[in-house]
Amino acid sequence: MPNFRVLLSAEQIQTRIQELGAEIDGDNPAGGPVYLICILKGACFFLADLARAMKTPSRIEFIGISSYGKGKTTSGEVKLTKDLDVSIEGYDVVIVEDIVDSGVTLSYLIKVLTQRKPKTLRIATLLDKPERRMRPVDVQYVGFRIPDEFVVGYGLDYAEDYRNLKDVVILQD
């Protein structure tokens, strides 16, 4: 059985997401709809809670992108594994991500989505590990800045396990 240490409790996560939802509402006075683009699979729980924390009408889309193999460090290689089903041209778009680590995934995705001419393109991430950044990314909504530890739970995995934990925990080996 792996060793877990709770970093962020389910309650802390929910409280912060309510604040983020209000912040996004405040930045969308026009009243939406805002396209929330969930990066599969890690951001799925965050997307579900963030969308419901917002009053601004939203539309939900999914994109698949991977830069990680089965280990804990980036492979440096990014690929699109599932594209959007709709055009985002002319819409306000918020990319919803679980964690920004090296920044490789998001800088790639920003390049791809910018070419599709959204009206605005912003990023909401539940977690940010700023110490690990290799590529600069402008992240507008950050749930929690965390230290350089490998975390799982609330959508985040280690080799596809532990996504369904309610808390975000540090995985110690």
Indicate which residues carry an active-site annotation. 101
Per DSSP (E only), the strands in 28-162 are 34-40, 58-68, 74-82, 92-100, 120-128, 141-145, 151-152
Question: Could you tell me the sign of the dihedral formed by the alpha carbons of 161, 163, 167, 171, in that order?
Answer: positive
- Cα(155)–Cα(148) distance, integer angstroms: 18
Which of 93/109 has CB closer to ligand IMP?
Answer: 109
Q: Which does 4 bind (CB under 5 to 8 A by kind): ligand IMP, Mg ion, none?
A: none
Which of 56/105 has CB closer to ligand IMP?
Answer: 105
> Exactly one of 21, 42, 153, 155 binds Mg ion (CB under 5 A); which one?
42
- The reply on whether position 74 binds ligand IMP by CB under 6 A is yes
Which listed range, 41-49, 56-64, 113-121, 137-145, lies at the site for Mg ion (CB under 5 A)?
41-49
Collapsing DSSP states into helix, strand and coil, what is residue 11? helix
Residues 6+ apart with CB under 8 A from 104: 67, 74, 76, 78, 134, 135
- Taking the complex as a whole, the smallest distance from the CB of residue 57 to ligand IMP amounts, in Å, to 26
- Taking the complex as a whole, the smallest distance from the CB of residue 93 to Mg ion amounts, in Å, to 17
Q: Please compute Rg for the chain using Cα positions.
A: 15
Site string for ligand IMP, 48-67 (x = CB under 6 A): -------------------x
Q: Which does 156 bind (CB under 5 to 8 A by kind): ligand IMP, Mg ion, none?
A: ligand IMP
Question: Could you tell me the sign of the dihedral formed by the alpha carbons of 92, 105, 129, 15, in that order?
Answer: positive
Residues in the site for Mg ion, rule: CB under 5 A?
A: 42, 98
Residues near ligand IMP (CB under 6 A): 42, 67-68, 74, 97-105, 150-152, 156
